[in-house]
Amino acid sequence: MKRPVKTGLLLAAFVAAGTGGYWAGQRGFALPFHSPFASMSTPKKGAADPTGSILYYRDPDGPFYSTEPKNNPKGRAYLPVLASEDISFDPPPVQAEAGSAAKTPGKIRFYRNPMGLPDTSPVPKKDSMGMDYIPVYEGDEDESGVVKLSPGKVQRTGIRSVAATRSNITQILRAPGIIALDERLITVLAARVDAFVENVATVTTGEAVKRNQPLVTLFSTEFANAAALFITELAIDSRGVTTGGARKRLENLGVPPEEIAEIERTRKIPPNMVWRAPRDGIVLERNVVTGMKMASGATLFRIADATRIWVLADVPELGLASLRVGAEATVRVRHRPDLTFAGKIALIYPQVNMETRTARIRIEIANPDLLLLPNMYVDVEIAAGDDTDRIVVPESAVIDSGARKVVLIDRGEGRFEPREVKTGPRGHGLVAILDGVMEGDRVVTSANFLIDAESNLKAALQSLSMGKESNTQEKQP
């Protein structure tokens, strides 16, 4: 259909809808004085005469049009409408302000689809509807990868966005634990020679003992011989200063310093030797009874100080990256959830359990009231992370497809840009962005999957259009 015919039909449609008088008045059509639209169509003084070819014909008595010459019912001929009098639906050109330089477009980079589709062209072309592709000049912002949504769709889908900020990532790791004694606070009381047990204190396994509290009395001929030699040396030297050989022998036999001092004071051979508790603690083992013979090296008592204990917790392998020695930890007893104990990670064991894929950590906790007992189960909460400030966004902003991670940047006015990112530690609903987002960038936190779906569709259409263009170029000779 030729342009005059199309234009005439378009005008007829507007007139039929009751808008013909409006458009005619806006464009300044010359209507007869007796026409009801004459008051809106008086041409301005000094206006240039109409020029151009005849596009269509109009009824001088009313808003009726024709593509060819004809007469109205009153016998009056339709008036020709020239090209300069035709209606234009394009907005009038913006006039540059006085004193300002007019902006001149630069070199055309490419042409983009007028309907917003992702296909572009290096040369002018039309789309399937006959609309011209729009030129994109140098210096214009490239929005080929931007998804555009109407304001109504943005509101209906409930899209929300927040600004990326800088913060440190912390998280709470929870793990089961078990109470264990501090290995450094366990002492074994043993005889270094064959000896007979003459007397045992009334303490039993599980009872508390004090440092230097008598526990067991032993008799041994080796103790007696060493004591006699020590007394002889003391008698030879009237000043009481010995060469130290006999004293050293008593020490090597494990004779307590108190017993050696008593021999030196009384100059008598003791009938037996008393072994005392080496520290304050709890009796873990009592392996002696009165009258029995103890072999050299046999354990008499095993005593542990339980005022400071260990908590051994098994942390999943994936949480090891955020753990560090010195991190704060909270321990809760399962049978007393109201009780909490504070401690710090003292050691991260250098191996991972093959069956459970967990790593063991050690937390040291003060236990002055002895409320925590060995082998007791507890629940551990660890404040994992570090003090490094990173760019962080909500976890809901990251779309993880497995192969890549993407966030959607809100560029305003319904424009959203998919951007691939590299993520770091997570915690408290936040995820660190190591690459791809700058501080202050607004990221979409809700309805981002809907935008991502449109982005994938746009990318698919772009790949399809590029494939068609390459096939066309290959077919050309």
Bigger pLDDT: 125 vs 347: 347
User: What is the reported pLDDT for 3?
Assistant: 45
- What distance, in Å, lies between the first and last C-alpha atoms of the chain? 33
Lowest mean pLDDT among 82-91, 358-367, 421-430, 437-446: 82-91
pLDDT tens-digit profile of 116-151?
Answer: 565 677 888 887 777 788 887 766 555 556 777 777
Q: Report the amino acid identity of residue 173.
A: L
CA atoms within 13 A of residue 253's CA, in its CB half-sphere: 25
Kindly state the tokens that stand for 219: 């008799």
pLDDT for the residue numbered 122? 80
Burial annotation 438-454 (CB, 10 A radius, 16+ → b, else e): eeebbbbbebbebbbee
- Read off the pLDDT of residues 382-430 as tens digits, 9 standing for 90 and up: 988 777 788 899 888 888 877 788 888 888 877 788 888 888 878 778 8
Contact present, 7 and 55 (Cβ < 8 Å): yes
pLDDT recorded at residue 36: 38
| CB 319, CB 212: distance < 8 Å | no
Per the CB < 8 A criterion, the answer to whether 394 and 429 are in contact is: yes
Per-residue pLDDT tens digits for 244-296: 788 889 888 888 888 889 898 888 998 888 999 999 999 999 999 999 999 99
Q: CA-to-CA distance for 230 and 205, rounded, in angstroms?
A: 36
Phi, psi of 454 (to 5 degrees): -65, -35
Which whole number is the average pLDDT over 49-78? 82
Percent of the residues in the chain that have a pLDDT greater than 70, as a whole number? 75
Lowest average pLDDT, out of 12-16, 314-318, 353-357, goes to 12-16
Pairwise CA distance, residues 324 & 311, whole Å: 16
- Per-residue pLDDT tens for 208-232? 999 999 999 999 999 899 999 988 8
pLDDT at residue 234, as a whole number: 83
- List phi, psi (to 5°) of 135: -75, 145
**C-alpha to C-alpha distance for 423 and 464, rounded to whole angstroms:** 31
Transcribe 388-434 into DSSP letters: --EEEEEGGG-EE-SS-EEEEEEEETTEEEEEE-EEEEEETTEEEEE
The rounded percent of the chain whose pLDDT value lies above 90 is 26
324 touches 386 (CB < 8 A) = yes
Please tell me what DSSP assigns to residue 71.
B
Do residues 336 and 369 touch, judged by C-beta distance below 8 A?
no
The residue behind tokens 């936190």 is 445
> How many CA atoms are closer than 13 Å to the CA of 270, on its beta-carbon side?
24
Cα 13 from Cα 475, distance rounded (Å):
44
At 408 the pLDDT is 84
| pLDDT value of residue 9 | 40
Could you tell me which residues come within 8 angstroms of residue 421 by beta carbon, excluding any fewer than 6 positions away? 398, 405, 406, 407, 433, 434, 435, 436, 437
Domains of the chain: 3-85 (no CATH), 111-137 (no CATH), 147-165+389-470 (2.40.420.20), 192-297 (2.40.50.100), 308-385 (2.40.30.170)
Higher-confidence residue of 236 and 274: namely: 274
* Residue 21 pLDDT class (50, 70, 90 cuts): very low
Q: Confidence band (pLDDT; 50, 70, 90) for 204?
A: very high
Highest mean pLDDT out of 64-73, 91-100, 261-270, 399-408: 261-270
Question: Is pLDDT larger for residue 298 or for residue 12?
Answer: 298
The predicted pLDDT at position 25 comes to 36
Average pLDDT for the chain? 77
> Which SS3 state, helix, strand or coil, does residue 344 take?
strand
For residue 327, pLDDT over 80 is answered with yes
What is residue 73's predicted lDDT score, i.e. its pLDDT?
Answer: 86
The pLDDT-based confidence of 96 (bands split at 50, 70, 90) is very low
Length of the chain: 477
Beta pairing class for 405-412 and 399-400? antiparallel
Which residues touch 196 (CB under 8 Å, ≥6 apart)?
A: 218, 219, 220, 291, 292, 293, 294
| Cβ atoms of residues 383 and 323 within 8 Å | no
Q: What is the DSSP string of 297-338?
A: T-EEEEEE--SEEEEEEEEEGGGGGG--TT-EEEEEETTEEE
**Structure tokens, 366:** 């003060």
* 431: confidence class by pLDDT, cuts 50, 70, 90: confident
Mean pLDDT is lowest, of 52-56, 292-296, 345-349, for 52-56
